[in-house]
Amino acid sequence: MLNFYSFRQDYLKFEGSDRLDLINRLSTNQVNNLQKNKGIKTVLTNDKGRFVDVLTLYNFGDFIFAACSFNNSTNVIDHLDKYTIMDDFKPVNMAGTHETILFFGNDVSGFINDLFSINVNDFINNDFEIYISEGHHSIIARNDDTIGGYMFIYAAKDHNYWYSFIFNNKNVSEYALKEMTDVEYEEKRISLGIPAFGKEMTDLTNPLECGLTQYVSFTKGCYIGQEVIARLDTYDKISKHLIKIEVEQAFQAEGAKILLNGKECGFISSALNNIGLGFIKTIFLDFDKSYKIKHNDSEIDCKIISINN
């Protein structure tokens, strides 16, 4: 099955000769050498090492087009402005100007090739290509989380054109495209252990607790929050870990406490049907033990699972 989902996120444009250098000095990943048509994710953290947001950077050569979490572009710009002093750097808020479709599932690479005549097999991280049809511009970018697939990003004003181009295209009529609902996508996200902004990624958590070490460079120079994150890594002091949760019955218990032998040891951050995501304090983490969820004055048995499984 080949799925598509209307993926909501905000967009920004970074201009100025110091654009990559500044983002490199303010975020967790090594991005100052990002080449044209290459994409990469990096995390903006505050001085306590906690999340401001995850940015996906797309290098167009003379500017950076960036994606951040939905309804969070203003917060991101405020954070960047706080640390921009003498730098030649101009962030532009482009929230609402673009829309995104995430294509993923079986033979998604073949689908992208047949639709856009773009060979994406050599894409790494969040690499992208620009596709133009009848003067309408779009971006096809690799999605590097465990859902995989490709982001198709286009101007919101061109919505009708691109939907007709994609879904009435004879070159892809053989593919069985299924639109995924918000609930279906959320269930997929939770089942794969992918942290979401505002749920797992908050100002109470950091990238290491959420298992996002692939977006953290431990060899680059200083950045905002670097001292805290480096200390957590060096001394193995991560206080809690993101885990998956399974129960036998459907539950809606975001924010509910997780118990071990009657002691509070964690909390639920996302929940849908009989699965969820949450955090367990490191000193209580044992995948062979039985945990409970305290919910509405009752206790529900639950199983915790490593997000690496």
Question: HSE on the CB side for 245, CA within 13 Å?
Answer: 35
Assigned domain for 267 exists = no
Assigned domain for 190 exists = no
Assigned domain for 266 exists = no
Assigned domain for 133 exists = yes
Contact 270, 277 (CB under 8 A): yes
Q: Give the predicted TM-score (pTM) of the model.
A: 0.96
Assigned domain for 194 exists = no
Q: Which domain holds residue 159?
A: 1-174+206-237
Contact 113, 175 (CB under 8 A): no
- Number of domains making up the chain: 1
Q: How do the pLDDT tens digits run along the chain, 309 residues long? A: 899 999 999 999 999 999 999 999 999 999 999 999 999 999 999 999 999 999 999 999 999 999 999 999 999 999 999 999 999 999 999 999 999 999 999 999 999 999 999 999 999 999 999 999 999 999 999 999 999 999 999 999 999 999 999 999 998 889 989 999 999 999 999 999 999 999 999 999 999 999 999 999 999 989 999 999 999 988 788 999 999 999 988 777 888 999 999 999 999 999 999 999 999 999 999 999 999 998 777 899 999 999 975
d(CA 81, CA 94): 16
Assigned domain for 249 exists = no
Assigned domain for 265 exists = no
Assigned domain for 12 exists = yes
Assign residue 63 the CATH number of its domain. 3.30.1360.120
